Amino acid sequence: MGSYRNCNFGGNASGNGCAHHRSAPGVPSGAKFSPKVSPKGWQRDRVRRAASEAWQLERIQRLSRICRCLDRGQAAGKRLCRMVRLHAWRWRGRHYKANPSQAIRFKANTILRIYRAWRAGGRTPAALALHYWRGNRKVSPGRVVELAKLCLLPETKSFSAAYRKLKAPGATESAYRYAMPARLRAALAALLAHRRHEQVLERAARRILRGLTK
């Protein structure tokens, strides 16, 4: 029989390695292992990764069908909000076939946000993929300035709307908020809130005007 060697397999990102003989099937011949985890644990990790990839692929396929359906409905003159609520109701309480323990979370606001991202991304499945980032990932000052300039555009009504316009943001919306200087963040928040209030007042005035012209 061969000899055992102890070390951390996979670096810091993988945590503790696996205690296993180097000649075991499915394990690289040059791999080095720690005796703290059994070979079965190493195999379970592979199964978990495969299951995660399977349900994420299923998620993309289901969302692609929903987005195409919304496109066809809009072309036929149907109301977008009504269609979104119908799809959210249809998927409520259901689970992925690839991973029955994973619930399908297609709420109305989630479907609407994903549909807009799908259209902005060229109507491709790649626009629907999940992107996980570290919560403490830092944002460079240049990217903060870019987001602030997007907030200053007259048509922008919220931080979220400006964030969606970023190409490959590389960090979460919260990371951008925390990276922004407090005075700038407060000034932009007040400006965006004022724009939303103006929009509400304009709609109210238009309703009154329509009532007078009938």
pLDDT (tens digit per residue) in 177-198:
888 999 999 999 999 999 999 9
SS3 62: helix
Taking the CA atoms of the chain, what radius of gyration do you get in angstroms? Answer: 25
1-15, 78-92, 167-181: segment of lowest average pLDDT: 1-15
Arithmetic mean of pLDDT, 46-72: 79
Confidence at residue 118, expressed as pLDDT on a 0 to 100 scale = 84
Q: Within this chain, do residues 28 and 86 fall inside the same structural domain, yes or no?
A: no
Q: Tell me how many domains the chain contains.
A: 3
pLDDT band at 87 (very low <50, low <70, confident <90, very high): very high
Confidence at residue 123, expressed as pLDDT on a 0 to 100 scale = 82
Confidence at residue 10, expressed as pLDDT on a 0 to 100 scale = 42
Arithmetic mean of pLDDT, 3-10: 43
pLDDT band at 105 (very low <50, low <70, confident <90, very high): confident
Last residue of a domain, one of 128, 154, 186: 128
Taking all residues of the chain, what is their mean pLDDT, rounded to a whole number? 76
Tell me the C-alpha distance between 53 and 156, whole Å. 35
Q: Give the model confidence (pLDDT) of 118-177 as tens digits.
A: 887 778 877 777 654 444 567 888 999 999 999 999 999 999 899 989 887 888 888 888
Could you tell me if residue 64 is inside a domain?
yes
Could you tell me if residue 181 is inside a domain?
yes
Q: Which domain holds residue 112?
A: 53-128
Q: 3-state SS of 93-147?
A: CCECCCCCCCECCCCHHHHHHHHHHHHHCCCCHHHHCCCCCCCCCCCCHHHHHHH
> Whole-model pTM above 0.95?
no
Q: Within this chain, do residues 19 and 63 fall inside the same structural domain, yes or no?
A: no
Could you tell me if residue 44 is inside a domain?
no
Confidence at residue 86, expressed as pLDDT on a 0 to 100 scale = 92
Could you tell me if residue 66 is inside a domain?
yes
Instruction: Provide the residue type at 123 as one letter.
Output: R
What percent of the chain has pLDDT above 70?
72
Structure tokens that stand for 198 in this block: 């103006």
Last residue of a domain, one of 107, 128, 149: 128
